[in-house]
Amino acid sequence: MPSPHAFFKGEFVPLENAKISVMTHGFLYGTACFEGIRAYWSEEKRQLLAFRMREHYDRLRNSCKILQISLPYSSEELCNITVEMLRRSGFQQDVYIRPIAYKSSEAIGVTLLGLKDDLVIFAVPFGLYLDISKGLKLKVSSWRHLEDNAIPMRAKINGSYVNAALAKSEAIQCGCDEAIFLTQDGHVSEGSGENIFIVKSGKLITPPVTDDILEGITRASVIEIAKKEFGIETVERRIDRTELYTADECFLCGTAAQVSPVAEIDNRTIGDGKIGPITKKIQDLFFEVVKGKIDRYAGWCTPVY
């Protein structure tokens, strides 16, 4: 049986003991940034493999820089702490790791300055976030995405996810599975918690990092895998809304979403409404990579035990 532990205020503690006050600044104002990292259990190897953990911690440190949170650990130290937390927890199943660096002072007042900072890391058992076996139904959201001069999406800021929750809930209430955000000037940005790719004439197209997206680690992995394994190029450029409707294929990707094919956007069928052939190739390879089945990607998978 697993015994979930957290790394909390510099120590490993049972998860139920990792508690914060209702007056914590990060809770009062959303002044915190976080990561989501998957670790996959390989029954074959009897091993838990954390996917691209270092890249997640490099991004967390950048988020902290933007939010003026001091995080006194290198990415390597954060990886080691996470491995130790997972070992103490004893998981033998797929898990989702949630590190959060936050303004921890118990204080009223909107600022980033003169406050204490803390870090918590915990993990929970985790299965599918979106159904990846069939195509998803998407809705272009009536909520516009946050932009770099409001709350930057480049930083994975807890408070930003209010924007995501509004869009995702609207999509669900409209009978869809997920929302697509447009930028303030009306170009395709990303999903509520995923990056988006379309396929046109055998090429992948995805919005550039300057269109208010989180610079996704799965996005970067997909671009690399597609090129190296299949010789498929990715073009990073602005995408118009109607290009979504006329795409040959479309998929979302992210740590939680993995590689999730899209069948319908705003009641328009994408391709023939089934999982597209390029999407399927990338999805299949992605799962082999994250489960540690392909040796040349072993560097992306950190063993816990």
Question: Which residues are designated catalytic?
Answer: 156
Nearer to ligand PMP, 255 or 283 (CB): 255
Please give the Cα distance from 256 to 244 (Å, whole number). 22
The label of the residue with tokens 């204490």 reads 116
Do 302 and 81 meet the contact criterion of CB atoms below 8 Å apart? no
DSSP 239: -
Pairing of strands 178-182, 188-191: antiparallel
The label of the residue with tokens 């600022």 reads 111
Q: Please tell me whether residue 289 binds ligand PMP under the rule CB under 6 A.
A: no
Q: 9: phi > 0 → left, psi -120 to 50 → alpha, else beta; which?
A: left
| The one among 178, 190, 249, 264 contacting ligand PMP by CB under 6 A | 190
Q: Please tell me whether residue 183 binds ligand PMP under the rule CB under 6 A.
A: no
Shortest reach from residue 10's CB to ligand PMP, in Å: 26
Nearer to ligand PMP, 86 or 217 (CB): 217
Which ranges of 95-251 does DSSP label H, i.e. alpha helix?
161-173, 217-230, 241-245
Shortest reach from residue 25's CB to ligand PMP, in Å: 22
Q: Please tell me whether residue 178 binds ligand PMP under the rule CB under 6 A.
A: no
What does the per-residue mask of binding to ligand PMP show for 209-248, with x meaning CB under 6 A? -----x-xxxx-----------------------------
* Rg of the chain taking only CA atoms, in angstroms: 19
Beta bridge partners of 124: 96
Q: Please tell me whether residue 48 binds ligand PMP under the rule CB under 6 A.
A: no
Torsions phi, psi for 220 (to 5 deg): -65, -40
Nearer to ligand PMP, 5 or 219 (CB): 219
Shortest reach from residue 142's CB to ligand PMP, in Å: 18
Q: Please tell me whether residue 177 binds ligand PMP under the rule CB under 6 A.
A: no
User: H/E element holding 101?
Assistant: strand 95-103
Stretch that binds ligand PMP, among 6-14, 62-70, 192-200, 230-238 (CB under 6 A): 192-200
Q: Please tell me whether residue 36 binds ligand PMP under the rule CB under 6 A.
A: yes
Q: Which residues bind ligand PMP (CB under 6 A)?
A: 36, 190, 193-195, 214, 216-219, 254-255
